[in-house]
Amino acid sequence: MKRPRTLKAAKHRAWRAISNFVRSAAADDEGYAQCITCGNIDHWKNLHAGHYVHGLTYGKDKDGPFVWVENVHPQCAGCNTYRNGQLHIYTLWMVDMYGRDFTERLIVERHKPVKMSIDDYWKIEREFYDALEA
Ligand SMILES: [Zn+2]
């Protein structure tokens, strides 16, 4: 796997790795997973990786860049694209899954700017592909 040359390519590739991981990790042995907001079942390759808090994917701390993977879950195209993420249902699901404090934290984190480098994205891309193969 070659290091991406532009920030745009690095970001795109990292997101693709995260999306593949989130959707396939949720799938059963036959590759089927459920949309978390409407319950429709489809092959993970047909599902989207839908954000709860829009625009929140990456964070950074003393250990370096990380992904707010709890902010991304499988959704069908209908919910993610045409029904704006079904955010009212998504919110209830998040509170059930992670608790209210964590769900609120994601909402707060949205406003913290994160400056990512090509190497930050590249590190994440490799981590998520490794996790996929594990
Ligand atoms: Zn759906």
Structure confidence by residue, pLDDT tens digits, 57-96: 999 999 899 999 999 999 999 999 988 889 999 999 999 9
Residues 6+ apart with CB under 8 A from 6: 118
Instruction: For residue 24, tell me if it sits in a domain.
Output: yes
- Provide the residues around ligand 1 (an ion) whose CB is within 5 A: 35, 38, 40, 76, 79
Q: Examine residue 26 and state whether it is found in any structural domain, yes or no.
A: yes
Is 1 contained in some domain? no
Tally of structural domains, the chain: 1
Tell how far the Cα of 80 is from the centroid of ligand 1, in angstroms.
7
CB neighbours of residue 94 within 10 Å: 23
Q: List phi, psi (to 5°) of 84.
A: 55, 35
For 2-116, where are the alpha helices, taking DSSP H only? Answer: 7-25, 77, 87-98, 100-109
pLDDT attached to residue 45: 97
Q: What is the pLDDT of residue 28?
A: 97
**Residue 119: closest CA among 51, 56, 60:** 60
Question: Per-residue confidence at 133, pLDDT binned at 50, 70, 90?
Answer: confident
pLDDT confidence of residue 132: 83
In a domain, 45, yes or no: yes
Question: Is 35 inside any structural domain?
Answer: yes
What domain range is 14 assigned to? 7-133
- Distances in Å between the Cα of 49 and the Cα atoms of 23, 60, 63, 66, 119 are 6, 21, 25, 17, 23
User: What is the identity of the amino acid at 100?
Assistant: R
Residue 113 confidence class, pLDDT cut points 50, 70, 90: confident
Q: Establish if 2 belongs to a structural domain.
A: no
CA of 46 to the centre of ligand 1 (A): 11
- pLDDT tens digits, one per residue of 17-72: 999 999 999 999 999 999 999 999 999 999 999 999 999 999 999 989 999 999 99
DSSP conformation class of 115: -
- The pLDDT of residue 73 is 98
CA of 33 to the centre of ligand 1 (A): 11
Q: With a cut of 80, say whether residue 134 has pLDDT above it.
A: no
73 within a domain of the structure (yes/no): yes
How much is the pTM? Answer: 0.94
pLDDT at 6: 97
Cα(37) to centroid of ligand 1, in Å? 5
